[in-house]
């Protein structure tokens, strides 16, 4: 399983950018500094049709900046050689973190002014001493456009499905039969 190595790289990336000046990461970013990293966020209950639900956002972001204008920047670190590291692909994840930062269960809310991916693509090895060898990386910042309305629409649809009635099972659908049988156990 490759997750431990990915986790190690992610931790190194987060550590490398602690207290970094935002424009040094990418000139398009607002003036500010990375002030938080690797913290959990939890939102207030998500509202659907103006009513609180029992559902919240809970997640762990990589980097958050405090910008000079009082807003925040949100960056998700990636170590990848994939071409799918696009803003559109990761937009729902970043919007979820932004929602939690702007609607925290506790503490002060902050406006998220920018979101993006900070991608490290390993390109070569560095050093000739086995005790201190490493990797060289190509770094790029990929801005992610805010799409709060779409995120809220998708999450509302998702919650509506989760909270809705289970549809009638089709006679040939094994999954439907399983879910109907499983649901009946809760009624015992």
pLDDT at position 101 over 70 = yes
What are the tens digits of pLDDT across the range 107-145? Answer: 999 999 999 999 988 889 998 888 888 888 889 999 999
What are the tens digits of pLDDT across the range 57-89? Answer: 999 999 999 999 999 999 999 888 776 667 888
- CA-closest candidate to residue 87, choices 115, 53, 67: 115
Helix (H), strand (E) at residue 32: strand 32-37
φ and ψ of 66, to 5 deg: -105, 115
Q: Where do the domains of the chain lie?
A: 3-186
Percent of the chain residues topping a pLDDT of 70: 95
b/e for 113-131, b at 16 or more Cβ within 10 A?
A: bbbbbbbbeeeeeeeeeee
Adjacency order of strands within the sheet including 134-144: 32-37, 63-67, 72-79, 112-126, 134-144
């Amino acid at each position: 399983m490759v997750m431990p190595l990915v986790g190690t790289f992610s931790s190194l990336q987060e550590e490398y950018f602690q207290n970094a000046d935002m424009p040094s990461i990418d000139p398009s970013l607002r003036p500010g500094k990375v002030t938080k990293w690797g913290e959990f966020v939890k939102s207030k209950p998500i509202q659907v049709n103006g009513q609180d639900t029992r559902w919240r956002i809970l997640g762990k972001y990589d980097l958050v900046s405090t910008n000079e204008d009082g807003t925040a920047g949100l960056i998700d670190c990636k170590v990848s050689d994939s071409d799918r590291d696009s803003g559109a692909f990761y937009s729902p994840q970043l919007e979820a973190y932004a929602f939690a930062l702007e609607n925290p269960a506790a503490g002060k809310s902050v406006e998220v002014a920018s979101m993006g991916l900070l991608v490290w693509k390993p390109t070569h090895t560095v050093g000739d001493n086995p005790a201190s060898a490493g990797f060289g990386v190509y770094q790029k910042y990929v801005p992610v456009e805010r799409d709060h309305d779409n995120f809220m629409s998708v999450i509302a649809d998702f919650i509506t499905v989760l909270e809705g009635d289970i549809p009638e099972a089709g006679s040939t659908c094994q999954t439907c039969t399983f879910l109907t049988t499983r649901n009946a156990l809760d009624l015992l």
